[in-house]
A = this chain, B = another copy of it.
Amino acid sequence: MTGQRQTRQRRQIFEVIERAEGPLSIAEIHEQSRRAVPNLGIATIYRTVKMLHEADEIHLVSLPDGETRYEKAGLGHHEHFRCRVCKQVFDLPDCPLAYLSGTTTKDGFLIEDHELTLYGRCAHCQ
């Protein structure tokens, strides 16, 4: 936890992100945090998430359909899977593309990094 002061709100927001199985949207973080801290305002979510993001304690994940989500940092490189049925986003531990970093394509693009999102059906929704 970065930030100068520990507050109930910050602890709660961080805990919600910590415990998630995949990246969460601002609305999801708000909703889940409110269960423990009812009056928690949306501005506090934005401010805290921004702070955590700048302190590199959480990472931004943006899905190809434009949704912005956040997940805790330190998970190592991994990819995301979005279920087309239940709409949940899961983390996938393996990355078949690690070899890409540092290579140059035949068109002269130097690849430094990449982000991959897979779509389909999760085990539960098949």
Contact = CB atoms under 8 A, between A and B. Distances in A.
Interface of A: 60-66, 68, 81, 83-84, 90, 92, 94, 96-97, 100, 105, 107-123, 126
A64 B112 contact: no
A66 B65 contact: no
Identify whether the interface residues of A are mostly helix, strand, loop, or mixed.
strand
Nearest to A109: B81
Nearest to A102: B120
Contact of A119 (B61, B84, B92, B111): B111
Give me the 6 closest cross-chain CB pairs, A-B, nearest first.
A108-B123, A112-B120, A113-B119, A64-B115, A62-B66, A110-B120
Given A65-B62, A96-B97, A112 B121 contact: yes
A107 B123 contact: yes
B114 A116 contact: yes
Given A62-B65, A97-B116, A115-B117, 17 more contacts: A61-B64, A62-B66, A66-B66, A81-B109, A83-B109, A84-B112, A90-B109, A92-B107, A94-B105, A108-B122, A108-B123, A109-B120, A111-B118, A112-B119, A114-B116, A114-B118, A116-B116
